Amino acid sequence: MDQRTDVRNIAIIAHVDHGKTTLVDQLLRQSGIFRANEAVAERVMDSNDLERERGITILSKNTAVMYNDVKVNIVDTPGHADFGGEVERILMMVDGVLLLVDAFEGCMPQTRFVLKKALGLGKKPLVVINKVDRPGARPAEVVDEVLDLFIELGADEDQLEFPVVYASGKGGYATVDPGEEGTDMKPLLDAILREIPAPKGDLTGPAQVLFSNIDYDDYVGRIGIGRVERGEVHNGQNVVLCHRDGTTKNVKITKLYQFEGLHRVEVEEARLGDIVAVSGIADLNIGETACAPECVEPLPFVQIDEPTVSMMFMVNNSPFAGREGKFVTSRNLRERLFKEVETNVAMRVEETDSPDTFKVSGRGELHLSILIEQMRRQDFEFQVSAPQVIYKEVNGKKYEPIELLMIEVPDSYVGAVMEKLGSRKAEIVNMGTRDTGMTHLEFKIPARGLMGYRQEFLTDTNGNGIMNNVFDGYEPYKGDIQERAQGSLIAHETGESTGYGLWYAQDRGRLFIGPGVEVYEGMIVGVSPKSDDITVNVCKKKHVTNTRSSSADEALRLTPPTILSLEQSLEFIKNDELVEVTPKNIRMRKTVLSKELRMKKASKNK
């Protein structure tokens, strides 16, 4: 078996916001990738708008740095469990992982999630304790926590002997000793060359490339990103593409690229262990293998976890349909959703009895809401139903997805959090206190019990709590959970909201709109404290009289409206309500707009 010592392939895995992308920034800056006068954005790897706004990585990214004549291919992976499908297949391309852990927060749910995947695939871990310069950092304790996590996840003896590097992505330094302050990232790069195994395999055998990711370019079409598992591949080479359904097809590699810094650079050939990008193969999918024609041997691909949440995506049929969006037909919606599935392997799209409705399943609410937000920015107009969990049947019994929920809250809020979660069928599995006056809680909770809870949690903890969740598995159905207790305030007629109408309506509940907003009959304009829906006339105008009194013309005092974001709207709606999404507005509405028809339907169901 041959070994290539001039290349290393690593993935950076970590919990959300533990500093992966910032650390990669520093490695790129210090390895001389950028010109001295080049203007470089912060978190340069988070390239799309949504990633920058939310401060999270959604798609995995490839980059490479040169250090001591060794090419280090680095893949930055998402930390959110909703994008776990990305993490799993990226691990197929690398030989080792940098496990990044915050020196203050310690091990979090996604740390456990991504590490479990990496250990399961037998990848060599290198632990980096990041943010050591953060106030309250406790690197020594965090190393013990990491060791406990390795033992809990069943790591073998070799994996338990993990090397540790202490770093500050923000400060731009790494050290081997937690007591000293470093000057640059060299100790980390040295550890990568020393600890991460070099690619092994057959250098002279027939070519074999496993594709783990797909990119898309408007000029050249689909670009497959993968790793050369055997032999060499050349620009212009004819290969056999092995599809996942067992069929094969003769194709040609039009262009071959490798990564240098943040750029794809065209190359003539690539060898065993190289991470490459290939264009020219039109119907290439994730998990497929390209082989030399004389030796067609497809490689097995990692099993991606099943989706746990589904939603209905529908053509917009509200009275305001077609006003604000460019793509509004069922054909537009169908094409866009099926295109998403090609690159988003953890998502499923199914057609339904209605040609205007599609069932879209994903790994969680965030996974689906990111797709909705992306489509909205691409000028699509559509409506979506409330998220539903996907149940399974095992031995004739109903099973449901369970999440592992980790919460950090100030001690004074523990009671309120435990009470709310108890009513949502959560079971506490762990509890501990920190010196900082914070309590760490771990629960197992049905996925449906988490829906709509995030907003309540922020209210109950005055915004001081942190909650994270990760899919844990399927367990028997836990029983009914009470839905949202409050009803909706519903617009009585189509028109424009007036200050006078809103002033009367605000006594009935909390409003979501201000004056001068166009509304239609059946649109949700607020939330009522009572359990029943209430119809309000927000377009009411003041009657003009010819008498004048000193008090009548005093200014009407309006309470500022609560404007809901997309995620909050999805969490808010009940099963008989929809969210209408357009490039300019997010509106909530009843599925049946007419009050009379709603009342008839309700009396039938009694």
Q: What is the pLDDT of residue 357?
A: 93
Mean pLDDT score, 47-59: 41
Residue 53's pLDDT band (boundaries 50, 70, 90)?
A: very low
Q: What is the pLDDT of residue 371?
A: 87
Report whether 11 contacts 225 (CB < 8 A).
no
Cα dihedral 114, 119, 123, 124 sign:
positive
Is residue 130 packed enough to be buried (19+ CB in 10 Å), middle (13-18) or exposed (0-12)?
A: buried
Is the pLDDT at 448 greater than 50, yes or no?
A: yes
Report whether 302 contacts 88 (CB < 8 A).
yes
Report whether 370 contacts 360 (CB < 8 A).
no
Partner residues linked to 129 by β-bridges: 101, 166
Residue ranges at the known binding site for GTP:
17-22, 130-133
pTM reported for the whole predicted model: 0.68
Q: What is the pLDDT of residue 322?
A: 87
Is the pLDDT at 591 greater than 60, yes or no?
A: yes
Q: What is the pLDDT of residues 320-336, one digit of tens each?
A: 888 888 988 999 999 99
Q: What is the pLDDT of residue 381?
A: 92
**Range with the poorest average pLDDT among 28-37, 56-65, 261-270, 539-548:** 28-37
Q: What is the mean pLDDT of the chain?
A: 80
Mind listing the domains of the chain with CATH numbers? 2-200 (3.40.50.300), 202-291 (2.40.30.10), 392-476 (3.30.70.240), 487-573+586-605 (2.40.50.250)
Name the residue with higher pLDDT: 423 or 28. 423
Mean pLDDT score, 81-99: 70
Q: What is the pLDDT of residue 61?
A: 58
Mean pLDDT score, 55-74: 68
- Separation of alpha carbons 486 and 530, rounded Å: 5
Residue ranges at the known binding site:
17-22, 130-133
- Separation of alpha carbons 442 and 408, rounded Å: 9
Q: What is the pLDDT of residues 126-163, one digit of tens each?
A: 888 888 887 777 888 888 888 888 888 888 888 788 88
Residue 17's pLDDT band (boundaries 50, 70, 90)?
A: low
- Separation of alpha carbons 206 and 291, rounded Å: 7
Find the Cα–Cα–Cα–Cα dihedral 103, 104, 108, 110, rounded to 10°: -50
**Chain-centroid distance, C-alpha 299:** 28
Is the pLDDT at 383 greater than 90, yes or no?
A: yes
- Separation of alpha carbons 540 and 365, rounded Å: 37
Residue 304's pLDDT band (boundaries 50, 70, 90)?
A: low
Q: What is the pLDDT of residue 142?
A: 85
Tokens matching residue 327: 């793509």
Mean pLDDT score, 200-215: 81
Is the pLDDT at 18 greater than 90, yes or no?
A: no
Phi-psi bin for 234: left (phi > 0), alpha (psi -120 to 50), beta?
Answer: beta
Q: β-pairing, 275-279 with 61-67?
A: unpaired
Is the pLDDT at 549 greater than 60, yes or no?
A: no
Q: What is the pLDDT of residue 416?
A: 86
Is residue 551 packed enough to be buried (19+ CB in 10 Å), middle (13-18) or exposed (0-12)?
A: exposed
Q: What is the pLDDT of residue 312?
A: 93
- Separation of alpha carbons 176 and 183, rounded Å: 12
Give Rg (Cα) of the chain: 27
Mean pLDDT score, 546-551: 55
Judged by DSSP in three states, 65 sits in: strand
Is the pLDDT at 125 greater than 80, yes or no?
A: yes
Mean pLDDT score, 366-391: 88
Q: What is the pLDDT of residues 401-418, one digit of tens each?
A: 888 888 888 888 888 888
